[in-house]
């Protein structure tokens, strides 16, 4: 995990952390606090800009593959994580700032179609923590805090293999996805 404090002029490697990072989310209220998703080791947390790290895997399954994690900007106690476990897509949610995780969705083998190591991301609405999107082979959405997830990319409306997404910061009804 590398970081720059001078707009990319130079880079520093985070000490005491040597995992393959697949995602990062920073607390919008505290720039020293962030979570990272890793490949094979789950989720890590720092409250001091990476000086020390702790795992935040309570409730997550074993044998984790690529893990994405995102914090709800409007409620920093809420996080969503999409992970690949033996080729199957799982979504977990934390309501207690990553202290514990509960299963929200199991997508079966078709969620990633054995490509969870490659196309895997999750994003949370900027002002509504109940709305989140998860991308694998298709794009899934929850509007009720992870209670249910439904595909919003069927019928050829988007290309498969979802890699990234973001909300327009000036209009939260506009969503951009990359595949």
Kindly report, residue by residue over 93-120, the tens digit of the pLDDT.
999 999 999 999 998 777 777 787 888 8
End-to-end CA distance of the chain: 24
Q: Give the position of tokens 């920073």.
A: 26
Task: Give SS3 for 136.
Answer: coil
Per-residue pLDDT tens digits of the chain, which is 179 residues long: 888 889 999 998 888 888 999 999 999 999 999 999 999 999 999 999 888 999 999 999 988 999 999 999 999 999 999 999 888 889 999 999 999 999 999 987 777 777 878 888 999 999 999 999 998 888 899 999 999 998 887 656 666 777 889 999 999 999 998 88
pLDDT at res. 37: 96
Model's pTM, two decimal places? 0.93
Q: Are 87 and 112 in contact (CB under 8 A)?
A: yes
């Amino acid at each position: 995990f590398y970081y720059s404090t001078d707009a990319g002029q130079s880079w520093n490697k985070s000490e005491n952390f040597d995992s393959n990072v697949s995602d990062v989310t920073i607390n919008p209220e505290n720039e020293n606090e962030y979570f990272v998703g890793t490949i094979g080791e789950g989720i890590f947390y720092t409250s001091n800009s990476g000086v020390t790290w702790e795992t935040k895997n309570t409730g997550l399954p074993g044998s984790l593959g690529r893990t994405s994690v995102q914090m709800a900007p409007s409620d920093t106690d809420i996080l969503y994580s999409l992970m690949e476990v033996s080729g199957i897509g799982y979504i977990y949610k934390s309501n207690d700032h990553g202290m514990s995780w509960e299963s929200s969705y199991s997508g079966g083998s078709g969620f990633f179609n054995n490509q969870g190591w490659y196309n895997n991301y999750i994003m949370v609405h900027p002002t509504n923590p109940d709305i989140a999107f998860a991308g694998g082979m298709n794009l899934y959405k929850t509007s009720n805090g992870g209670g249910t997830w439904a595909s919003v990319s069927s019928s050829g409306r988007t290309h498969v293999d979802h890699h990234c997404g973001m909300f327009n910061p000036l209009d939260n009804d506009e969503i951009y996805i990359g595949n």
